[in-house]
């Protein structure tokens, strides 16, 4: 039985996304963990894991959400150097040239069908983004449930998969006013704000409200745009929803250049 689960955003943003979910070495059994995405360079992933006292050899899988570079960059090198299995659906594998070069390392799953990696029960669910077959994930043990979703442009019924989570990682990408008046060309602004783009702070808060549950103990806000958002705006939007419950929920932000706090579920 896994008593303790640790979660950390190793990096989050348009420059690269990687999340760690795992349990530590308790002296009796070596720690095990999974990564959701490997958008950071492989060497940076290894060093940031080391900074939170996790050895890369404890990573049992990299779970890919979709084929965009900021979610995939380090996956191939990790698979080749450390023999870490990569999990993706068939459409994502086809869309990602770097994954097509790794036939022996790819474990294919069907979106919507759960599978196991060591002690973790993984459930990939469909989301709306401009990619081949993008997914979010829940990662569950016998005691805890973690849900993660980024890179989605609208809220769909499939997001109900994240109900009753102890910890959530939700996208809070942009502030509409900053996006409208920001430096992006009009067609990029329309893409970001479209149904296959990203969630605004308000959208993220709406999703959070639908997922509130007495079990929820920790919330990470992820994939904040450094051009079209401000950390305090994302934080305030989520905080206002959390205050409605009166429960003590830890709220953390994911950063591009810094490791997030490590959340522990005991």
Q: DSSP 3-state helix, strand, coil percentages of the chain (rounded to 5)? A: 30, 25, 45
CATH number for position 99: 3.60.15.10
Q: Do residues 60 and 85 lie in contact, with contact meaning Cβ atoms separated by under 8 Å?
A: yes
Q: Do residues 60 and 87 lie in contact, with contact meaning Cβ atoms separated by under 8 Å?
A: no
* Overall domain count for the chain: 1
Q: What angle in degrees, to the nearest 10, is found between the helix axes of 75-82 and 42-51?
A: 70
* Measured distance CA(184)–CA(135) in Å, rounded: 26
Range 39-58 average pLDDT: 97
* Measured distance CA(5)–CA(26) in Å, rounded: 11
Instruction: State both tokens at 209.
Output: 């409200």
At residue 259, the pLDDT reads: 98
Top pLDDT among 102 and 220 is at: 220
Name the residue range of residue 9's domain: 5-265
**What tens digit of pLDDT does each residue of 222-265 get?**
999 999 999 999 999 999 999 987 678 999 999 999 999 999 99
Instruction: State both tokens at 9.
Output: 């955003």
- 71 dihedral zone (left: phi>0; alpha: psi -120 to 50; beta): alpha
């Amino acid at each position: 039985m896994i008593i303790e689960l640790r979660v950390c955003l190793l990096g989050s943003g348009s420059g690269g996304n990687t999340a760690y979910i795992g349990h530590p070495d308790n002296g009796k059994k070596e720690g095990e963990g999974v990564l959701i995405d490997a958008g950071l360079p492989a060497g940076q992933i290894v060093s940031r894991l080391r900074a939170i006292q996790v050895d890369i050899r404890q990573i049992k899988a990299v779970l890919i959400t979709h084929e965009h570079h900021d979610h995939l960059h380090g996956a191939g090198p990790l698979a080749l150097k450390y023999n870490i299995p990569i999990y993706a659906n068939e459409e994502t594998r086809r869309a990602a040239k770097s994954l097509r070069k790794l036939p022996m390392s790819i474990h294919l799953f069907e979106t919507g069908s759960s599978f196991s990696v060591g002690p973790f029960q993984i459930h990939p669910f469909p989301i709306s983004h401009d990619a081949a077959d993008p997914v979010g994930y829940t990662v569950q043990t016998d005691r805890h449930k973690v849900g993660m979703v980024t890179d989605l442009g609208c809220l769909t019924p499939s997001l109900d998969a994240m109900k009753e989570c102890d910890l959530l990682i939700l996208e809070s990408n942009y502030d509409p006013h900053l996006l409208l008046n920001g430096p992006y060309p009009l067609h990029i602004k329309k893409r970001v704000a479209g149904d296959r783009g990203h969630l605004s702070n308000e959208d993220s808060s709406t999703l959070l409200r639908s997922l509130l549950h007495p079990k929820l103990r920790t919330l990470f806000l992820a994939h904040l745009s450094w051009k079209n958002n401000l950390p305090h705006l994302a934080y305030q939007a989520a905080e206002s929803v959390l205050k409605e419950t009166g429960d003590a929920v830890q709220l953390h932000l994911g950063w591009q250049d810094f490791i997030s706090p490590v959340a522990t579920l005991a």
